[in-house]
Structure 1
Amino acid sequence: MFARLLGRVALHGAWITVVLAGATLAGICIGETAIPVSTVWQTLANKLLGTGYPLDRIDQGIVWNYRLPRAVVAACCGAGLAVSGVILQSLLRNALADPYLLGISAGASTGAVLVTVAGVGAGAVSLSLGAFGGALSAFLLVALLARASGGGAGPRAAGQIVLAGIAGSQLFNALTAFIITRSASAEQARGIMFWLLGNLSGARWDNVGMAVPVALGVTLLCLWHARALDAFTFGTDSATALGVPVRRVQALLIGCASLATAVMVSIVGSIGFVGLVVPHAARFIVGVRHVRLVPAAALMGAIFLIAADVISRIAVKGQVLPIGVITALVGAPVFALILVRRRPAR
């Protein structure tokens, strides 16, 4: 029995690795300048195995220093945001919950801007820590607003938390704009505004060292609590009856989702709709059991953001679009479709 389970895990792990490696390879090869697959393999061999393939220094630099870390960071951000969406939708029992719509991304952006532009912490507070503080503050504000509005349970509660999220998101976006206007120079303001729309251009190897552990950590933690997340889909009362420590699990997983969102925002800016679209697509393919849903959402989120990054580089010749524009062009129609499908029957 154990051997069979171990074999299934190994098989699924190998399949996920192959698919993700293929998507990453496509993200490296496709772009403003096409890079042959052979050049990619030879560059990896030179850097990792010390082989001496004769390669153009520019091509090798593009692959190793620019596109490979960019693709890896895109995959980690997509996976982290998608799993965060799974967490929020399960715990809140709300199909429209995701870090962007609930204002967590906006709060993380405000925290990051406070640290970088306003100098909060006087250098003692890192960018990711500032973003994490902003993300948690945003979620607490949204939760308090939804509770104060008397949302209760059921469809009304789902609607109230989305409305509270919109209000919180607008508030933190306004705070971010105020901080930029008051404290940033014109050059800083241009760079920050482009970053806020989602920008992977600055992704480098030091970002990989931060994004990979966070993406893996949030995914593994969700897998560890997969049965608890299954129980939450029937409500907190049912989860309590099944022996789930509701308060502790909620605090742990929401804190984990906020941390993942904060780290990804600190690296690439605010990218919307990944946490909304990908979990629904994963449920459609693998079902609602979280032991399958979590890895599927992580894999699909990684592929989705790599693909969005590739499109952002080739959609307009000679320009790189903010990646948030691409995810919004996909996510907004899906969001509208979810709203229409959830319309109560008359």
Structure 2
Amino acid sequence: MSLGSAPTLVRPIRPVLSRGMLGILVLMLAVLAGIVIGETPLSLGQVGRVLANSLWGAGYAVDPVDAGIIWSYRLPRTLVAAACGAGLALAGVVLQALVRNALADPYLLGVSAGASTGAVAVTILGLGGGAIGISSGAFMGAVLAFALVALLARAAGGSPAHMVLAGIAGSQLFNALTSFFIAKSANAEQARGIIFWLLGNLSGVRWPDVWLAVPATALGLVICFRYARALDAFAFGTDAARALGVPVRWVQFVLIGMVTLMTAVMVSIVGAIGFVGLVIPHAARFIVGVRHLRLIPTAALTGAVFMILADIASRMIIPGQVVPIGVVTALVGAPGFALILIRNRRES
């Protein structure tokens, strides 16, 4: 290769780096907005001083109440919101590629409902005698739900449409089981708390949840990058992917396991949040196209920013009251879902 040809290799990289830096900047601004905006107004100077004290021991004079709000409440809440949005968006990207259906996401395919049932069973019924945590219970419930949906879809014919219909049936089944567990075993106070949690709730998020949500999403992002080209191949069907040298069964096992794990972790922390995994991948495709090497980071960044903004809206819509974040995502996601249906009808 001659030296004169080197600039032709550098030029295509520059737009990618520019877009990546822009995306990271937007995410940082969204995190900063999530810390600053709330019922208690805080300035950028206050946030900077608290972060400097907490991270580097700068020794600035700050109000202890403001320090507690910033470091112990808003920052972990915002980081978990970002991880949750990114994780659910990645789950939607993967599921839509694997089942070749534009309507696939953890919520519609019953994974979120199964995770909710598992978490509630551990919390209320005490399954496992304390040896099983909420996240483990959610993971087992999510695995059971997806296995049931996959078997039902296969028995019905195995088409993408059958997968979504089986997911809807599975969601109804596990939602009914969750309601049954609550009605049978929970007292009034437990029932109110669990119902509010099931609608999506970030109010109780603290630093231990950050150390659970962020690594789960980071692991999912790494695995998605590892199998990005395989996901491209799945767009042509499993037979075509196999012909291209993709180990179909192994890739499906790894990616579905990753989706189930991420969904279970997010549900165990914030509850079942719908429409993020459905709408965000389509928004990312509109921005960068269908190639997964570009789609994966774009969907993760878009989902993270969207969830942070949704969390801000949940705190600000009704003064003095926090609206469940699942309500906010549904208010945005339902119209997006309708647009996807209309667009698919026009393209079919």
- Normalised by the shorter chain, which TM-score bucket? over 0.9
Q: Secondary structure at the match of 1:97?
A: coil
Q: Distance in 1 between matches of 2:345 and 2:22?
A: 38
What whole-Å deviation, never above 9, does each CA across 1:138-172 have from its counterpart, x for those lacking one?
Answer: 11111111111124xxxxx2222111111100100
Q: Distance in 2 between matches of 1:7 and 1:204?
A: 38
Q: Distance in 2 between matches of 1:309 and 1:14?
A: 24
Q: Give the letter for the 1:87 counterpart.
A: V
What whole-Å deviation, never above 9, does each CA across 1:247-266 have from its counterpart, x for those lacking one?
Answer: 00001001100100000000
Q: Give the letter for the 1:159 counterpart.
A: A
Show the counterpart of 1:168.
170
Within the candidate set 323, 340, 343, 1:341 is matched to 343
Q: Secondary structure at the match of 1:55?
A: coil
Gaps of 5+ in 2: 1-5
Q: Mapping of 1:192-211 within 5 angstroms?
A: 192-211=194-213
Q: Mapping of 1:101-112 within 5 angstroms?
A: 101-112=108-119
Q: Give the letter for the 2:213 counterpart.
A: A
What whole-Å deviation, never above 9, does each CA across 1:168-216 have from its counterpart, x for those lacking one?
Answer: 0010000001111111111111100000000000110000000111111
Residue 86 of structure 1 pairs with residue 88 of structure 2: no
Q: Which stretch shows the higher mean deviation, 286-295 or 28-37? A: 28-37
Q: Which stretch shows the higher mean deviation, 30-39 or 64-73? A: 30-39
CA RMSD, Structure 1 to Structure 2 (Å): 1.8
Show the counterpart of 1:39.
46
Show the counterpart of 1:311.
313
Q: Give the letter for the 1:148 counterpart.
A: A
Q: Distance in 1 between matches of 2:206 and 2:188?
A: 25
Q: Give the letter for the 2:32 counterpart.
A: L
Q: Distance in 2 between matches of 1:339 and 1:178?
A: 32
Show the counterpart of 2:138.
131
What whole-Å deviation, never above 9, does each CA across 1:68-121 have from its counterpart, x for those lacking one?
Answer: 000000000000000000000000000000000111000000000111110001
TM-score, L = length of structure 1: 0.95
Q: Give the letter for the 1:230 counterpart.
A: D
Show the counterpart of 2:105.
98
Q: Using the aligned pairs only, state the percent identity.
A: 64
Gaps of 5+ in 1: 152-156
Q: Distance in 1 between matches of 2:137 and 2:240?
A: 36
Q: Distance in 2 between matches of 1:146 and 1:170?
A: 15
Q: Mapping of 1:196-275 within 5 angstroms?
A: 196-275=198-277
Show the counterpart of 2:26.
19
Q: Distance in 2 between matches of 1:150 and 1:227?
A: 27
Q: Distance in 2 between matches of 1:284 and 1:10?
A: 19
Q: Distance in 1 between matches of 2:221 and 2:79?
A: 16
Q: Distance in 1 between matches of 2:13 and 2:138?
A: 38
Show the counterpart of 2:3.
none
What whole-Å deviation, never above 9, does each CA across 1:224-255 have from its counterpart, x for those lacking one?
Answer: 11100000011111100110000000010011
Residue 114 of structure 1 pairs with residue 116 of structure 2: no
